[in-house]
């Protein structure tokens, strides 16, 4: 064993000689990109030498430590140039610096989830990538370079239908027979206020339903959350529209709700409808992000125009009136996500891009 291998073993770092792909995560705060890396890398690692680097990642993932960066100056044992798979501008910049300033032997791949015209600097960075991936057909329309669409998958081990009494809504000890959920960070862009308005209008007509909202409230959005609480209290619904804040395990709440609502005004990709469908839960969503490519209207749920609160309310109404519709769409959603959105599908799509990049030399 070499000194480098011995040091790596003692520090819990990977043996870089066996690593062909590095997935950087250059952001401390949890985000959708971070969640994607955490779920996907263990699947990729089944048949690929891959490591993550950066803050905010669990120790269960194969990690390249910062002191191992010089190893990028050498090719791995496979003889191929390592791939630096960036998902943010900062990571593209870091890859270019490594390659052109420090002469790292790497190829650069970028995944774009943005569904808007990129800024000039971002376009400049993307043109310098060796491979480009779009997470949906819509995001691909804003790319001016050849790319492959690889949609995100969902962890079917973590997100699954109810299996025990704790997965039932009754286990939460909350009022009502059925629950409708809205999960994610509380802020205007996520449309939490649209969901609250819909619940204020609908719940008085449907006493068997309770609305559950989970998610972190950052300091800059505390006023927004306080205003929502005031509106709920003014409607006399504080016991039926519940803001739970961050929960220890959001996966169990997907199983407890009969209907999930994704009311975002804008998104990158948006994983929550997939997580709900994997939990056998019907979905009402806006057409933000990739939601319109995920949800099949009349089969697994429905979607409406982003920002249209009236349309959102009316899309939810039939499910509250007839929970059997939600249950049927939940069954269809589980079947659909198990076929189209497995993590293994995403890993296979990425591997195709990697192989194409390696084939270029």
pLDDT at site 4: 52
Q: Quick check: is 333 in a domain? A: yes
* One domain for residues 209 and 135: no
* One domain for residues 136 and 223: no
Q: Quick check: is 323 in a domain? A: yes
pLDDT at site 361: 74
Q: Quick check: is 91 in a domain? A: yes
Q: Quick check: is 15 in a domain? A: yes
Residue 192: which domain range? Answer: 165-340
* One domain for residues 146 and 183: no
* One domain for residues 23 and 133: yes
Show the 3-state SS of the chain: CCHHHHHHHHHCCCCHHHCCEEEECCCCCCCHHHHHHHHHHHHHCCCCCEEEECCCCCCCCCECCHHHHHHHHCCCCCCCCEEEEECCHHHHHHHHHHHHCCCCCEEEEEEECCCCCCCHHHHHHHHCCCEEEECCHHHHCCCCCCCEECCCCECCCCCCCCCCHHHCHHHHCCCCCEEEEEECCCCHHHCHHHHHHHHHHHHHHCCCEEEEEECCCCHHHHHHHHHHHHHHHHCCCCCCEEEEECCCCHHHHHHHCCEEEECCCCCCCCCHHHHHHHCCCEEEEECCCCHHHHCCECCCEEEECCCCHHHHHHHHHHHHHCHHHHHHHHHHHHHHHHHHCEHHHHHHHHHHHHHHHHHCC
Q: Quick check: is 78 in a domain? A: yes
235-278: pLDDT as tens digits? 999 999 999 999 999 999 999 999 999 999 988 888 899 999 99
* One domain for residues 323 and 351: no
Per the structure, the count of domains in the chain is 2
pLDDT at site 1: 47
pLDDT at site 56: 83
Q: Quick check: is 296 in a domain? A: yes
* One domain for residues 124 and 198: no
* One domain for residues 190 and 126: no
Strand partners, 24: 53
CATH of the domain at 100: 3.40.50.2000
* One domain for residues 92 and 15: yes
Q: Quick check: is 12 in a domain? A: yes
* One domain for residues 347 and 335: no
288-320: pLDDT as tens digits? 988 999 999 999 999 999 999 999 999 999 999
Q: Quick check: is 111 in a domain? A: yes
Question: Which residue positions in the chain have pLDDT lower than 50?
Answer: 1, 10
* One domain for residues 174 and 289: yes
* One domain for residues 129 and 107: yes
* One domain for residues 188 and 57: no
């Amino acid at each position: 064993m070499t000194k480098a291998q011995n040091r790596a073993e003692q520090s819990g770092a990977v043996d870089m000689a066996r690593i062909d792909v590095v997935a950087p995560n250059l952001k401390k705060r949890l985000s959708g990109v971070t969640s994607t890396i955490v779920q996907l890398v263990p699947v990729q690692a089944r048949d690929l030498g891959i490591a993550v680097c950066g803050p905010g990642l669990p120790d269960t993932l194969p990690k390249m430590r910062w002191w191992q960066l010089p190893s990028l100056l050498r090719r791995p044992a496979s003889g191929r140039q390592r791939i630096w798979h960036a998902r943010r501008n900062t990571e593209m910049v870091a890859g270019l610096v490594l390659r052109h300033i420090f002469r790292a032997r790497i190829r650069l791949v970028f995944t774009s989830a943005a569904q808007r015209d990129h800024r000039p600097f971002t376009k400049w960075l993307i043109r310098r990538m060796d491979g480009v991936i779009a997470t949906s057909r819509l995001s691909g329309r804003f790319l001016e370079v050849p790319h492959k669409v690889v949609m995100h998958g969902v962890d079917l081990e973590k997100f699954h239908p109810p299996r025990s009494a704790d997965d039932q809504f009754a286990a939460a000890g909350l009022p009502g027979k059925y629950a409708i959920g809205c999960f994610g960070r509380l802020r205007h862009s996520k449309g939490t206020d649209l969901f609250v308005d819909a619940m204020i209008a609908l719940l008085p007509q449907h006493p068997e339903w309770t609305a559950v909202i989970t998610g972190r409230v950052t300091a800059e959005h505390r006023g927004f959350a306080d205003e929502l609480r005031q509106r709920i209290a003014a409607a006399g619904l504080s016991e039926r529209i519940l803001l739970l804040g961050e929960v220890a395990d959001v996966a169990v709440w997907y199983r407890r709700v009969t209907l999930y609502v994704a009311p975002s005004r804008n998104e990158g990709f948006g994983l929550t409808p997939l997580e709900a469908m994997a939990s056998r839960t019907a979905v009402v969503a806006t057409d933000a992000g990739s939601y319109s490519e995920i949800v099949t209207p009349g089969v697994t749920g429905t979607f409406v125009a982003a920002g249209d609160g009236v349309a959102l309310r009316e899309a939810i109404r039939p499910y509250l009136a007839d929970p059997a519709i939600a249950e049927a769409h939940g069954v269809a959603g589980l079947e659909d996500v198990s076929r189209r959105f497995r993590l293994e599908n995403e890993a296979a799509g990425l591997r195709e891009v990697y192989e194409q990049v390696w084939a270029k030399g």
